Amino acid sequence: MDSHSRFTALITVDIQPDFMPGGPLAVTGGDEILESLGKLMGSDGFGLLVATQDWHPFAHISFASRHPGKNPFDVISLYGQDQVLWPDHCVQGTPGAALHGALDWHRVSAIIRKGMDPAVDSYSGFRNNWDSEGKRPKTGLAGYLRERRITDVCLCGLARDFCVKWSAEDAVDEGFNVTVIWDATRAVDPSSDEKVRADLEALGVRMAVADDLL
C-alpha cells in the first residue's frame, strides 16, 4: 500500500486501562483490539510510532463528579459547545491512566498527553476542545510529524467516536493523508458507527482494516 512507508506514522489513541472493560469509562470490546495493535506497532511498515494518552488532572472539568446534580454521560453546554460529562477517568499518575501494559511501548517516539488543562477537555491528539476564548490550542503534534517528514497518518485505538474521530478530523485539517484502521478501534456508542464513518469519509479519510497494513 503506497501510504504504508517511512513517511507514514501510526498513531495509537488512548490505549489505557481506564477505557478497557472493567474500567470507569469502559469501551465495549476495547481489549479486543490489543492483539492487532501489537502487530501494527511491531510492523516495520510505519516510519514513526506516536501514542496519545488521555491525562487529566484530578477534578477535571469533563468529569460528571465536578458538576453537582449531573450524571456521567449527561451533556452540558461548556463555552458554548456541547460537553459530555464522563465518569472520572485517566487521572494523571493513576494506574488506569498508564499506557496499557499488554503492549510494548518502547518503539514509540512521542507520547502526546492531552486533557491536561483542568478547564478544557481534549479529544484530539492535535488540538484541545474549545476553550473559554472559543479557541482550540494545538498540542504541537502536527508540527512534530511534519518535522519528521510524515505525510500520512494511520489512526487506531479508542474511542472510535471521540478521540479517534476528532484526531482524524484534525489530521485532515493539518493536511495529512489520513487512514483510520477501523477494526483496530472501538466506539463508546456503537450506534454512531455509520455516522462516524460517513463523516470521516466525507472529509477524505480512508478506511482500512489492520490486515491491509500488515
End-to-end CA distance of the chain: 10
Q: How far is the CB of 188 from ligand VGL (least distance, A)?
A: 6
Active site residue 163: yes
Does the protein bind ligand VGL through residue 15 (CB under 6 A)?
A: no
The answer to whether 156 touches 184, Cβ cutoff 8 Å, is: yes
Minimum distance from residue 85 beta carbon to ligand VGL (Å): 10
Is 169 a binding residue for Zn ion by CB under 5 A? The answer is no
Answer for which of 17, 36, 41, 54 binds Zn ion (CB under 5 A) is 54
Check residue 88 for interaction with Zn ion (CB under 5 A).
no
The region of 47-55, 65-73, 164-172, 197-205 touching Zn ion under the rule CB under 5 A is 47-55
Q: State in angstroms the smallest separation of the CB of 62 from Zn ion.
A: 6
Residues near ligand VGL (CB under 6 A), total: 8
Q: Give the amino acid at 59.
A: A
Annotated catalytic residue within 31, 161, 163, 170: 163
Q: Contact between 86 and ligand VGL (CB under 6 A)?
A: yes
Residues 160-179 as x/- pattern, contact with ligand VGL by CB under 6 A: --xx----------------
- Is 154 annotated as catalytic? no
Q: Which residues sit opposite 178 in a β-bridge?
A: 153
What is the pattern of x (binds ligand VGL, CB under 6 A) and - over residues 124-163? ----------------------------------xx--xx
Distance CA 140, CA 15 (A): 20
Instruction: State how far the Cα of 190 lies from the Cα of 80, in Å rounded to an integer.
Output: 26
Are 33 and 185 a contacting pair, CB within 8 Å?
yes
**Of residues 14, 88, 169, 170, which one binds ligand VGL by CB under 6 A?**
14
In the set 31, 54, 88, 114, the catalytic residue is 114
Transcribe 34-100 into DSSP letters: HHHHHHHHH-TT-SEEEEEEE-BPTT-TTBGGGSTT--TT-EEEETTEEEE-B-S--BTTSGGGSPP
In contact, 186 and 30? CB cutoff 8 Å: yes
Would you put residue 77 in left (φ > 0), alpha (ψ -120 to 50) or beta?
Answer: beta
165 tagged catalytic? no
DSSP state for residue 26 in the 8-state scheme:
P
Which residues would be at the binding site for Zn ion (CB under 5 A)? 54, 115
Residues annotated as catalytic are 14, 114, 163
Which residues would be at the binding site for ligand VGL (CB under 6 A)? 14, 54, 86, 123, 158-159, 162-163
